[in-house]
Structure 1
């Protein structure tokens, strides 16, 4: 390859990250006891319009603790999208609950009210809303249904830093809401996650669960098993700096999406992300494309061809109802969700990181054009 390989993601750390990390080293506060923890929790809660934030080690454990904290009973059913990451189903299963998968909208890639309604049973106790790739779930109909039936709502906003639904921040809609801070997220701490809630008692429980359920008066006597899921002050220092630049990050991400749209307008054989709906403008966490039926190969082959041209890509999520580990456990057997199955096989995303240059966007788009028949 004559030109430099374009990675699928490179984070940008050009704000106060280095200064805040140096402060941690200079003061010796590098553990989970440092002052940046509270600052980061308050910053993320404030950005999402929530009262309480609980920082943890990653987005997956945020889901684990959030689901566990709701106190659902073994065997209760939780409706989840089939088109999502395994962490969502894993959190449900680890809590002794039953994941019930629903299909996605083929355009927005999100779960729908129609899917949720069809999945309801007498054992349904919660709905896990997962906002996918850049657009949020159309929330109002699902939230109204949850309120009417007394269902708990877990909101996975891992890909939605800075996004809104009808002008209200994503991450503010669940009984508990979770974020991830992996390096490809709009706010990164390297690894890290957070749980948000407006319920003070629930926040106390979440804080206890993330800290092994130590008791204030008798630290090493435990009434309940928790997690060692504490975020370090070093990670939180990065997070504080990242939240400071979040509005600029959102603006940049949307610009990346617009540039890709310009380069790929009217290109046959692909479906581009929906730029906007009546409830949100796309935030382009990633820029995904889905191969049309007329393209005689799948996403795996497209990604292979792009790699040969120096373009990094990633596949779309694989469906939960097709996961071998879940099928072996007896979940979601003999199910078909055709929209999710199609985009899992024919969807992938192009380089989408914040460090992407205009030239790299143009190169990536041109390479995609060249591999299409």
Structure 2
């Protein structure tokens, strides 16, 4: 079976993990944590970063650091992974869903504008499958209405909008390092911001609210969201190979785009002013009725695929009666294809 994804562990991962084992620093203290955080911040061009134990808690921590609460509304795409919305609900805030754009599959800025009201506190954008959202109009909307801007970059490490890495446009942003992400720590995530006070607050919250001045004194309700030194060691090794990984993934995308030309499908291509990281190489079949038969055929041929996410507002605990025709069409027709860095041209074609 050709899998949809597998990690690319060809660098210093084993060496760095063994250094953790030899030093006995295997939990949430050790040199690799700060090294990974600092190098990650430098790589994407942001002032501050703090690591966490997975991408979902990264979003929750970011929202808590911003102070979102009951009565606040957060605008979020209907077409996204469930973590984007679960974490909004966990803060007590209310998610307000918006539609997508047909070409990019990203959130529609015009629909964001339509959903803003006096209860709106924040906008969360999700750079879905590694293609950046159209950030200029979204940033302008947030400035105009004095709204917080959160970037969910779980799938978008290595993605750029107008030569600026995603995660650097808003008040705060999050990344995921799950095993199928472009760079991985096994499980892990990162919260980043150019606002040092926000990252200090996030650090306080992720460390059980422990006081800086008084040992074992905890002054707020908080969490244990810390990354381990072992995970950070893997992450640092992955970051050292990031350019190679991203190059290979773009190469795979070019093979797909060329090989699929002329077929009744559309490829999730790079758009103007963007650099797609191709976390997933994705297609949409012209006729949604062909999606499941095509996936079954590929499965029988030993090729794993994934369907594009269901709309979040269709889930029982997030349900609304709103209709999002573009997002629904993408969800019904989209397929994620194998896109791991070790994939060969022969396997793609």
TM bracket (short chain): over 0.9
> How much has 1:263 moved relative to structure 2?
1.1
Q: Which residue matches 1:349?
A: 336
For the residues of structure 2 that align with 1:359 and 1:231, how far apart are their CA atoms? Answer: 38
Q: Which residue matches 1:319?
A: 311
Range moving further from structure 2, 299-308 or 315-324: 299-308
3-state DSSP of counterpart to 2:340: coil
The RMSD of aligned alpha carbons is 1.3
For the residues of structure 1 that align with 2:176 and 2:135, how far apart are their CA atoms? Answer: 20
In the TM superposition, what are the counterparts of 1:35-114 in structure 2 within 5 Å? 35-114=31-110
The answer to whether 1:263 aligns with 2:259 is yes
Cα contact 1:49–1:172 (8 A) shared by 2: yes
For the residues of structure 2 that align with 1:250 and 1:56, how far apart are their CA atoms? Answer: 23
Cα contact 1:213–1:225 (8 A) shared by 2: yes
Q: Which residue matches 1:284?
A: 278
> How much has 1:249 moved relative to structure 2?
1.3
Superposition TM-score, scaled by structure 1 size: 0.91
3-state DSSP of counterpart to 1:260: helix
> How much has 1:145 moved relative to structure 2?
1.1
In the TM superposition, what are the counterparts of 1:296-335 in structure 2 within 5 Å? 297-327=289-319, 333-335=320-322
For the residues of structure 1 that align with 2:84 and 2:42, how far apart are their CA atoms? Answer: 25
In the TM superposition, what are the counterparts of 1:174-253 in structure 2 within 5 Å? 174-253=170-249
For the residues of structure 2 that align with 1:219 and 1:326, how far apart are their CA atoms? Answer: 41
> How much has 1:214 moved relative to structure 2?
1.4
Q: Which residue matches 1:366?
A: none
3-state DSSP of counterpart to 2:274: coil
Structure 1 unaligned segments of length 5 or more: list them: 328-332, 363-373
For the residues of structure 2 that align with 1:70 and 1:326, how far apart are their CA atoms? Answer: 22
Superposition TM-score, scaled by structure 2 size: 0.97
Change in CA separation of 1:218 and 1:290 when aligned onto 2, cut-off 3 Å: same
Q: Which residue matches 1:159?
A: 155
For the residues of structure 2 that align with 1:182 and 1:302, how far apart are their CA atoms? Answer: 27
Match of 2:325 among 333, 338, 344: 338
> How much has 1:219 moved relative to structure 2?
4.1
Cα contact 1:40–1:237 (8 A) shared by 2: yes
Cα contact 2:130–2:157 (8 A) shared by 1: no
For the residues of structure 1 that align with 2:293 and 2:211, how far apart are their CA atoms? Answer: 54
Q: Which residue matches 2:124?
A: 128
Deviations 1:69-124 (A, max 9, x none): 10133111100001100001011110010100001011111002111111111111
For the residues of structure 2 that align with 1:10 and 1:114, how far apart are their CA atoms? Answer: 37
Cα contact 1:159–1:185 (8 A) shared by 2: yes
Q: Which residue matches 1:273?
A: 268
For the residues of structure 2 that align with 1:62 and 1:301, how far apart are their CA atoms? Answer: 37
Cα contact 1:47–1:162 (8 A) shared by 2: no
Cα contact 1:80–1:89 (8 A) shared by 2: yes
Cα contact 1:74–1:96 (8 A) shared by 2: yes
For the residues of structure 2 that align with 1:67 and 1:304, how far apart are their CA atoms? Answer: 39
Structure 2 unaligned segments of length 5 or more: list them: none
> How much has 1:186 moved relative to structure 2?
1.3
Give the aligned length. 349
> How much has 1:282 moved relative to structure 2?
2.4
